[in-house]
Each structure stands twice: as structure tokens, then as C-alpha cells.
Amino acid sequence: MPGFYRKKRRKVGPSKNDEKVLRGRQAEAETRAAGTLSSRFPGARALSVRLSIVSPQGVVLDEREVSLGADDPFQIDIDCPGRCGSGNFDFSDFVSEALERREESGQVEASCGEPLYGGGPDLCGCVARCEFSAEFAAS
């Protein structure tokens, strides 16, 4: 009598590597679609952005400064380093609205609403702060 034989199921769907490549391509396409600082905001010469992320316990998890020149792609986002493992803060919209109004500085805060990695009822709750200052050519 033949023993019970379970056929090994082949994994369907894209492999991990394909997904990674795809994500890379999507990021590239997004960057291209985003345009450069000067093409999006005529007159904008430079932009510097300070991003910092603080955990719900008040620990600074990440802090960085990004400087964009006129020809750099306009994209301002940062991955959440918190316990969610998947959050992402995108400040591009906020900054672009301010630049369209030719504001030279501004700041905003956002908190991560992703659930904690591994489940549970809690949300990540990391708070990201974005501060920018922009330089415009005199018009």
C-alpha cells in the first residue's frame, strides 16, 4: 500500500527577488514622475529638509538632513524605523504645497499608523517631524 504522499506545492506568485526588483523599478518610476525641484517649482533653487523620527517612548530613532539642488528629483520620504517594520512617511505633498505658495520654511509632524509587526492591537505610533527651508530665486 502506497504511503500517503503529499506533493510539494510550488510557490505561486512572484519570488522575493522579483518583488524586490519590481519595488526598485517602481521607486525609479516614481522618482522620474516626481520631477526635479526646479521643474516642479520654477524659481526654487535649493531645498533642505530635516527629518527626525521619535518612538512613542521618546527615543530618537532616525535623524537626517536632505539637501536638494535645482536638478535633484523632488521626493521627500523616509521609512519608519519603528516596530511596525513597514511604515513610511511621505512629506512630498506637504512640502510641494508649501513650495507652490513660495513658502520658505515650514514644518509638519505625522505619526505612523501601521500596526506593530507580529500583530496585536497597538499601532506603531512613531512620530516623524519634517522641517524644511527653501531658497527661491528673486523674481
CB of 76 to Zn ion, least distance (A): 17
Output 103 or 114, the one with its CB closest to Zn ion: 114
CB of 83 to Zn ion, least distance (A): 7
Q: What are phi and psi of 7, to 5 degrees?
A: -70, 135
Rounded distance between C-alpha atoms, residue 84 and residue 70, angstroms: 34
Reading the block at residue 134, the C-alpha cell is 527653501
- Looking at the Cβ atoms of 80 and 98, the one nearer to Zn ion is 80
Q: Which is nearer to Zn ion, 78 or 98 (CB)?
A: 78
Least distance (Å) between residue 75 CB and Zn ion: 19
Q: Are the beta carbons of 79 and 53 closer than 8 angstroms?
A: no
Q: Which residues of this chain interact with Zn ion, rule CB under 5 A?
A: 80, 82, 84, 87, 112, 114, 124, 126
Identify which of residues 52 and 133 has a Cβ nearer to Zn ion in the complex: 52
Nearest to residue 123, comparing CAs of 82, 89, 95, 92? 82
Please give the sequence-ordered ranges of beta strands (E in DSSP) within 10-139, or none if there are none.
44-54, 60-69, 77-79, 88-90, 105-111, 127-136
Q: How far is the CB of 118 from Zn ion (least distance, A)?
A: 13
